[in-house]
Amino acid sequence: MTERPELKQALGRLLGPSEPEVGCDECFAELDRYVELEVAGADADAALPGLRAHLEGCPACREEHESLRALVSGDQLL
């Protein structure tokens, strides 16, 4: 079992996060604040509990989080 990262991933997709999580609507509502805290090096997970777990469980929200973080990080380099 320890040699099977793909099995762990498959289980992760089926079972989702083990911690409490917010839903997609709350994730979207807080995503801008979460990303700015992350980019600033602050503790975004402490400020918005349940959002990280949701990003682990929801591929669509996770992709949009990655895009927003990349876009905002790029803006800060300008």
Partner 1 sequence: MEVVPQSPGGRTLAATPLDPESRRWLRELRSEGETYDSAVARLHALLLRAARFEVARRRPSLPHLRGNELDDIALEAADDALVSVLARLDDFRGASRFTTWVYKFALLEAAVKLRRRAWQGREIPLEPETWSLFASGSTTPSEEAEQRELLAAVQDGIAHALTPHQRRVLVALALNGVPIDVLAERLGSTRGALYKVLHDARQKLRKHLAASGHALTALEEA
> What does the per-residue mask of binding to partner 1 show for 7-26, with x meaning CB under 8 A?
xxxxxxxxxx-x--x-xxxx
Q: What is the full DSSP assignment across 12-58? A: HHHH--SS----HHHHHHHHHHHHHHHHTT--HHHHSTTHHHHHHH-
Query: Is there binding between residue 42 and partner 1 (CB under 8 A)?
Result: no
CA 48 to chain centroid, in Å, comes to 11
Single-letter residue type at 26: E
**What is the closest distance, in whole angstroms, from the C-beta atom of residue 36 to partner 1 in the complex?**
5
**What is the closest distance, in whole angstroms, from the C-beta atom of residue 64 to partner 1 in the complex?**
5
- Residues in the site for partner 1, rule: CB under 8 A? 1-4, 6-16, 18, 21, 23-26, 28-33, 35-36, 47-48, 57-60, 63-64, 67-68, 70-72, 75
